[in-house]
Structure 1
Amino acid sequence: MFDTLTDRLTQSLRNVTGTGQLNEDNIKDTLREVRMALLEADVALPVTREFIEKVKAEALGQEVLKQLSPGQAFVKIVYDQLTEMMGEANQSLNLSAKPPVVILLAGLQGAGKTTTAGKLAKFLKDRQKKKVVTVSADVYRPAAIEQLRSVSNDVGVDFIPSSSDENPIDIAMRAIEQAKIKFADVLIVDTAGRLHIDESMMDEIKALTAAINPTETLFVVDSMTGQDAANTAKAFNDALPLTGVILTKTDGDARGGAALSVRAITGKPIKFLGMGEKLDALEPFHPERIAQRILGMGDVLSLVEEVERKIDREKAEKMAKKLQKGGAFNLEDMLTQFEQMKNMGGMAGFLDKLPGMSGSGIQQALEQAKPEKEVGKMEAIIRSMTIKERRNPDIINPSRKRRIAAGCGMEIQDVNRLLKQHSQMAKMMRKFSSPGGIAKMMRGMKELQGGGGGGLGPLFGGGAEGADGGQGRMPGNMPLPPGFGKKR
């Protein structure tokens, strides 16, 4: 998401770095580029126009801080305005009401409401520790009720049955009573969608909303529809007391115009982003973090939270202790690392949150390299080995290599390549576990990224500063203003 916008904006903002002072002449061309970047990202024209005017007024009207260069100040202004446009800070669901808290999902057909209902149920169950039940009031779409039943079973929450010959209001009222009996904390109501906004659809959902008075009425919209997403959200907001928006399919949206337009047009906060097909691919929307990603600064806070949530801590600590005691990094450890990376959403999901690693260029390079496919091959080779071979790679002689290759349908060259990569990883792990290992790794990363630190400092503490305490940098060696990468 935002790959194209990131590429254009970071390129445009380089034009003002290193200038002696900000004035109308030297920011005019940059603002024109920023305007074109936003419009190409399918941001609504009124939103783009207002954004440009605010940036221009801030850039020309403020006294530039002494410790910042004018270029840094301009980047800070753009960052602040992007954050403000998207809503300043994350607005969480109101779960403090008398249980069961009723959450109503509304939207057009095909936006992904039913799948989102399952994702939201899993999010509330796993991260908020709530007892969740679901019900489908979609009596029109074939198999809609069965789909929600299946999704609910997959995420491990109770499903309240309904049938297509019932009235949606009767379904919802009965579901509220059953949720009380089950002592549920939250009831998620999935509603019927249409292929377009029509009067009968709006009348039905208005009546349903009035009857059950939900605590949260969330509009679910496909982000890939761009400006139409914002316009449709406005139409629903005019008809319903919306409390927030969930953007779906954002993993397939390289432009990101919907995320930048919805809040400004509707005045309602974006509360969640659907980031993929898996049922755990729902993330809270943090405007300040999204602004950092748009400007190529990464999203380290989300990455840290994801690591905390998805990495098997017991396995990680066990391996760390082994390495600290001088133990060898073997092929079983390598297999564990592959599994942990898959839990993180693969290489693409990991790199997308690292500073300087977003943008279409990185994504295209990843697509060409096909890292997930290569990892799959290496996993197959390791699984073809005996336990003894995995724990003692040095014993793998030519005859063992032939047997391993035959067992997984690979060539001996593939086995050799794996063993070479394992040897390189083992060396890196030894450096990491030795005194001063983190500093050595940081120096290596800085060398790989051209010596600027790449803004990787937040991974090891120190906000957006480099490993040596210096100023972190954006892609293209552009410095970041102090304070970026820290929690707001």
Structure 2
Amino acid sequence: MFEQLGDRLQGTLKKLRGQARLTEENISDAMREVRIALLEADVSLPVVKSFIGKVKAKAIGTDVSKSLNPGQMVIKIVQDELVELMGAANDALNLAQTPPAVILVAGLQGAGKTTTVGKLANLLKHREGKRVMVVSADVYRPAAILQLKTLAESIDVTYHPSSADQNPVDIVNGAKLAAKNAVMDVLIVDTAGRLHVDQQLMQEIKAVHAAANPVETLFVVDSMTGQDAVVSAKAFDEALPLTGVILTKTDGDARGGAALSIREVTGKPIKFLGIGEKIDGIEAFHPDRIASRILGMGDVMTLIEEAEQKVDKEKAEKLVKKLKKGKGFDLEDYRDQVAQMNNMGGIESLMGKLPGMGNLNLPAGAMGGVMGDMNKSVAIINSMTPKERQFPALIKGSRKKRIALGSGTQIQDVNKTLKQFTQMQKMMKKMGSKGKMMKMMRGMGGMPGMGGKFPPGGGGGMPF
């Protein structure tokens, strides 16, 4: 998300970094470029005008800090205004009421409401320690009821049954009573997708809202619809007292215009971003962190949180102990590290959160190519015997042929995997002997080599 906007803004603001002094002329030139970048990102015109006006006024009228040069000062102003535009701080869910706290989820058809309900339930259960019940009031799409039941079972949260022949208001009333009797902390209600122009369905959701009396009414919208997302959020807000927005499919949205416009146009905060199809693919929306990502400054806080939640600490500790005892880093360990990276969204996701990585100017798709090579390496390692994984030196001609055949790859792929592994092994040995690896792995939960080379185009070098 924000790739296009980030590239344009970083390129424009980079020109200001070397300026000895700022004039109204060079600020105007830079703001013209920023304006085009925002419009291309599908940010609404009134929002763009307001944003540019505020940045320009502050840039021209601000005394330059002694610790910053004039160009850096403008970058700081742009960052501050981006944060302000998106809501200044994360708006967490307000669940402070007598249980069960009801969350009503509404939105357009195809926006990903049911999947989002499952993700939200999973997040509240595992990160907040809440007892969660989910219910579907979507009587128009029986598949949605079955989908929510399947999701609830997969994450082990309580599912309240409903059927297409019931009235949505009756479903909500029944679920509230069941949640209260079961001493649930949170009840999440999934509703049918509807268009704001459908008056009959809008009246129905008003009745469902009145019955649910939710503490949070969240509007789920597909970020890839751009300004349509903003228009529909505004229309729903006129019918329902929305408390926040969840943007879905953000991993497929390179522009990010909806995220930059919704708060300004509707006055409603973005509370979460939906990323991918996995059940843990949801993250709290932090405007300051997003602004840093857009401007290529990384997002270390989110990276640390992801490491805390998604990295297998037990495996990391085992590897640390193994290296401490002087035992070698083998192909099993190498495979585990690739799996850990996949759990954290892959190399592109990690790169986007590391400071300065946005300025590397890598070829388009380079990181995706590296990730493909690494996943190919996993298949190759899986085709080896346990003894071969422990003693890679055994892998010669006939063994290489067998491994390539078993993994559906070529002998040169096997050679490349072994070469990358050897380089990784050397680095681990070197860092382990100096004690650096122990600190790094404890800090990052077992992700070695974060500062290593990335093999452009899949050549040699470390895998991550």
Q: TM-score, normalised by structure 1?
A: 0.87
Q: Could you tell me which runs of 5 or more consecutive residues in structure 2 were left unpaired when the two chains were aligned.
A: 441-448, 455-464
Identity across matched positions, percent: 60
Per-residue CA deviations over 1:182-229 (Å, capped at 9, x if unaligned) read 111100001111245322222111122122210000011111111111
Q: Is the 8 A contact 1:331 1:382 kept in 2?
A: yes
Q: Is the 8 A contact 1:64 1:70 kept in 2?
A: yes
Partner of 1:139: 139
Shift in Å, 1:380: 1.9
The separation in 2 between residues aligned to 1:287 and 1:221, in whole angstroms, is 18
Asked if 1:396 is matched to 2:395, the reply is: yes
Shift in Å, 1:159: 0.9
Partner of 1:64: 64
Partner of 2:205: 205
Q: Residues 363, 312 of structure 1: CA spacing in aligned structure 2 closer, same or farther, 3 A cutoff?
A: farther
Partner of 1:39: 39
Q: Which range moved further: 34-43 or 322-331?
A: 322-331
Shift in Å, 1:347: 1.7
Asked if 1:103 is matched to 2:103, the reply is: yes
Partner of 1:430: 429
Partner of 1:387: 386
The separation in 2 between residues aligned to 1:273 and 1:235, in whole angstroms, is 21
Q: Is the 8 A contact 1:216 1:242 kept in 2?
A: yes
| 1:392 partner amino acid | F
Partner of 1:274: 274
**Residue 365 of structure 2: SS of its match in structure 1?**
helix
Q: Residues 266, 196 of structure 1: CA spacing in aligned structure 2 closer, same or farther, 3 A cutoff?
A: closer
Partner of 1:81: 81
The separation in 2 between residues aligned to 1:150 and 1:317, in whole angstroms, is 34
**Residue 64 of structure 2: SS of its match in structure 1?**
coil
Q: Is the 8 A contact 1:108 1:197 kept in 2?
A: no
Asked if 1:165 is matched to 2:190, the reply is: no
Q: Residues 8, 171 of structure 1: CA spacing in aligned structure 2 closer, same or farther, 3 A cutoff?
A: same
Per-residue CA deviations over 1:426-449 (Å, capped at 9, x if unaligned) read 1111222232747xx9xx988969
Aligned residues: 445
Asked if 1:115 is matched to 2:115, the reply is: yes
**Residue 352 of structure 1: SS of its match in structure 2?**
helix
Shift in Å, 1:37: 0.5
Asked if 1:355 is matched to 2:355, the reply is: yes
Asked if 1:130 is matched to 2:130, the reply is: yes
Partner of 1:192: 192
| 1:24 partner amino acid | E
The separation in 1 between residues aligned to 2:365 and 2:114, in whole angstroms, is 34
Q: Residues 447, 25 of structure 1: CA spacing in aligned structure 2 closer, same or farther, 3 A cutoff?
A: farther
How do 1:15-30 and structure 2 match up within 5 A? 15-30=15-30
The separation in 2 between residues aligned to 1:103 and 1:265, in whole angstroms, is 23
Partner of 1:48: 48
**Residue 246 of structure 2: SS of its match in structure 1?**
strand
Q: Is the 8 A contact 1:348 1:363 kept in 2?
A: no
The separation in 1 between residues aligned to 2:382 and 2:183, in whole angstroms, is 46
Partner of 1:374: 373
**Residue 171 of structure 1: SS of its match in structure 2?**
helix
Per-residue CA deviations over 1:11-50 (Å, capped at 9, x if unaligned) read 1102211222222111010000001100110001111111
Q: Residues 246, 280 of structure 1: CA spacing in aligned structure 2 closer, same or farther, 3 A cutoff?
A: same
Q: TM-score, normalised by structure 2?
A: 0.91
Q: Is the 8 A contact 2:101 2:186 kept in 1?
A: yes
Q: Is the 8 A contact 2:196 2:235 kept in 1?
A: no
Shift in Å, 1:363: 7.7
Partner of 1:410: 409
| 1:135 partner amino acid | V
Shift in Å, 1:366: 3.0
Asked if 1:337 is matched to 2:302, the reply is: no
| 2:99 partner amino acid | P
The separation in 2 between residues aligned to 1:280 and 1:359, in whole angstroms, is 29
Q: Is the 8 A contact 2:230 2:261 kept in 1?
A: yes
